[in-house]
Every structure is written in structure tokens, then in C-alpha cells.
Amino acid sequence: MIAGFWFLGGFNLPVGANKAWGYMIVLYLLGAVSMTIVDHWIGNLDRSNLRAMYIILGILACGGGLMYLHILKEREAIIHPAG
């Protein structure tokens, strides 16, 4: 999952990297951690697992990070055209 993000160029910071690029990386990585690692039980007698909620929130965060990556790459292409 993180390798796919690297393949899409998520970790290739532009020369004038700004805070937005860092926020995008943090958003994607937090979503990946939420989807794969976090497991949370609530309640004492009738315990419930919130794993499904964390998976859904992780998918949304990763999707948001990928959309943010696309937006930042398009903005970089407008500001600094290749060529």
C-alpha cells in the first residue's frame, strides 16, 4: 500500500516543497495505519469492536491523500511547467 503511494510519486517532494505536501503524506500514512493496525474494543459487558469503522476511515483518508496528491501535482505542473 505504501509502496503504491511511493510508485505514484507521493514521496517525491518538489524543490519548493511546502506544508501542503507534508500534510498530504501524513494524511495518507495515517489512513494506512488506521486500515491495517488499529483495533479498538469498547464496552465492559457487551464488548464491541470498532475495527470496521477504522477500516472505512482509513480508506477515506487514503483516498483523500491520493486526491490531494493529484491536486498538488497538477498545481506544480501549472506553476513549474516542464520543458
pTM: 0.80
In whole angstroms, give the CA distance from residue 28 to residue 12: 14
In whole angstroms, give the CA distance from residue 5 to residue 62: 9
Percent of the chain topping pLDDT 90: 33
Give the pLDDT of residue 58: 95
Tell me the per-residue pLDDT of 31-65, one tens digit each, with 9 for 90 and over: 999 999 988 888 888 889 999 999 999 999 999 99
Give the pLDDT of residue 20: 83
CA 6 to chain CA mean position, Å: 11
| All structural domains of the chain with their residue ranges | 17-79
Decide which of 9 and 17 is more confident.
9
Return mean pLDDT, the chain: 85
